Structure 1
Amino acid sequence: MSLSSLHEQLRALRLGHFSQALQQQQEQPDTYTDMSFEERLGLLATHEILCRDNTKVKRLTRQAKLLDARPSGIDYRSGRGLKKEKIAVLLSGQYLHYNQNIIITGATGCGKTHLACALATQACEQHHSARYYRLGELLDELHVGHADGSYRQQLNTLAKRKLLILDDWGMEKLSARQANDLLDVMEIRYQQSSTIIASQIPTSEWYKLIPSPTIADALLDRLLHNSHRIELTGESMRKLDQSDHLA
């Protein structure tokens, strides 16, 4: 079999990265002269696996629509209310395996969104699907779903996301329809997946944002039950960053 035919077969088998690595070995024969067939084959297989893994992580991250934030960028300076050991446990992804939620609260500019997206980025790197929404954006999409008949499909899509991030929770009171929609979302995800909520409003005030006490009880029970709580404190990170640049 000719080398060109071999490469065509590898690509037909969707082993494109394997084929590229083989091409490299062929172009640099002296580098691999002292290696056994099994060792060279192992390098090719490892390259294929690593490239597939990298491609999957990039796809999951792109689909999640996250803000640019990575775990390495989490700021643990004193006064923020962040405990490294607690964040380390969350970054391990255990909460995803147990379908637990994370509630992040704190004042404007304290880094809630960055922390939520850093945790979600880590989840993508662990091969979990995720999706970031500002709460208003999600509610608008669900409203359109009622109008065009896609509402049930939207719920099924949200149910498949292992991690859902809802930012700017509690910016305004919910209407009865919005509260019902959120309950539908949380009901279909309950004990099947995880949700991260980022809010300026303390959880003790959330009940007042929901018009129906019955829906409030059901919705908050699904969100707050068995959740990890992080309350960020201290000055605005934007102000601190500006001070660092001026220093």
Structure 2
Amino acid sequence: MLTHPTLDILHALGLHGCAKGFKDLEANPAVASLSHAEWLALVLEHEVTLRRQKRFEARAGRAKLRQSACVEDVDYRAVRGLDRSLFLKLATCQWIRDHRHLILCGPTGLGKSWLACALGHKACREDFSVLYHRVPRLFAALDLARGDGRYAKLLASLARIDLLILDDWGPQVMSADHRRDLMEIVEDRYGRGSLLITSQVPVDRWHEIIGDPTLADAILDRIVHAAYRIDLDGESMRKRPDEHELP
């Protein structure tokens, strides 16, 4: 068999994983005993693996996660109230498939953003679209979009995301515009996408942060009742420089 022309054809067809698999198998005498069907299956597996990796890298790049974090690296030894069984359940991403939400609350320094990014990273690996935003910067971007005509387009782009991470929500009372922004975001995702919200403020104080009782009821009804909750408490992990979660 002419190896180089075959590789050229595979690359021309965009089957770069197949080409790599073909080349690797040709160089491995141990596969000589394989049947044609087995050999082809191995070549195709290379293609599938490469495409999954590229898709993950693209999703992870678009997610713009604040921290490089993986669910496999979570520190369950730290005394902060993290329920291991619940977090492992969340790491399966079934809650995203079910269009449910997650609320991560607790004082600063307990790794809320890190945990959120770890779950976002896992969601990318599970082929979900993910986008990370710090809430103050998201509202600033929406303010700009409102002024230059991109508001509806920006909201539509947020609505298409499977998992939207809203990091560092509160504690300032929201303006009227930002209350409406949050209502639009939540409404667009109701039954169609998931939110992951981190906040230093306990959920029972979110009404006063939103500011308007009617909008607060509408927003929280759509978030809290369909959300898993993780309430962290303990000493700041930033005081422990040996921890990999918070260097």
> TM class by shorter-chain length?
over 0.9
Distance 2:226 2:243 in 1: 38
Please report how far the alpha carbon of residue 5 of structure 1 lies from its aligned counterpart in structure 2 after TM superposition.
3.8
Distance 2:148 2:36 in 1: 59
Aligned to 1:137: 137
Deviation digits for residues 88-140 of structure 1 (CA, Å, limit 9, x no counterpart): 11111111111111001000101111111111111111111101110011111
Q: Which amino acid aligns with 2:119?
A: L
Distance 1:21 1:186 in 2: 45
Change over 3 Å in CA distance of 1:106–1:43 after alignment to 2 = same
Per mean C-alpha deviation after superposition, the further-off stretch among 46-55 and 4-13 is 4-13
> Within 5 A, what are the aligned runs for 1:29-178?
30-66=29-65, 67-77=67-77, 79-178=79-178
Distance 1:195 1:79 in 2: 26
Aligned to 2:8: 8
Q: Which amino acid aligns with 1:65?
A: K
Provide the secondary structure at the position in 2 that maps to 1:132: strand
Provide the secondary structure at the position in 1 that maps to 2:41: helix
Provide TM-score, normalisation by structure 2: 0.92
Change over 3 Å in CA distance of 1:30–1:2 after alignment to 2 = closer
Distance 2:97 2:33 in 1: 44
Provide the secondary structure at the position in 1 that maps to 2:241: helix
Q: Which amino acid aligns with 1:220?
A: L
Q: Which amino acid aligns with 1:19?
A: A
Provide the secondary structure at the position in 1 that maps to 2:68: coil
Please report how far the alpha carbon of residue 171 of structure 1 lies from its aligned counterpart in structure 2 after TM superposition.
3.2
Change over 3 Å in CA distance of 1:69–1:29 after alignment to 2 = closer
Aligned to 1:223: 223
Please report how far the alpha carbon of residue 243 of structure 1 lies from its aligned counterpart in structure 2 after TM superposition.
8.7
Distance 1:5 1:79 in 2: 60
Change over 3 Å in CA distance of 1:203–1:29 after alignment to 2 = closer
Q: Which amino acid aligns with 2:56?
A: V
Aligned to 1:190: 190
User: Could you list the runs of 5+ residues in structure 2 that have no partner in the other structure?
Assistant: none
Provide TM-score, normalisation by structure 1: 0.92
Distance 2:12 2:144 in 1: 42
The alignment covers a number of residue pairs equal to 243
Distance 2:28 2:136 in 1: 58
Please report how far the alpha carbon of residue 205 of structure 1 lies from its aligned counterpart in structure 2 after TM superposition.
0.9
Distance 1:184 1:130 in 2: 18
Deviation digits for residues 45-80 of structure 1 (CA, Å, limit 9, x no counterpart): 011101111111111111111111110221112531
Deviation digits for residues 181-220 of structure 1 (CA, Å, limit 9, x no counterpart): 1111111111111101100001111111123222111111
Deviation digits for residues 124-181 of structure 1 (CA, Å, limit 9, x no counterpart): 1111110111001111111111111111111111111100111110032211001101
Please report how far the alpha carbon of residue 3 of structure 1 lies from its aligned counterpart in structure 2 after TM superposition.
4.3
Provide the secondary structure at the position in 1 that maps to 2:104: strand
Q: Considering only aligned residues, what root-mean-square deviation do their CA atoms show, in Å?
A: 1.8
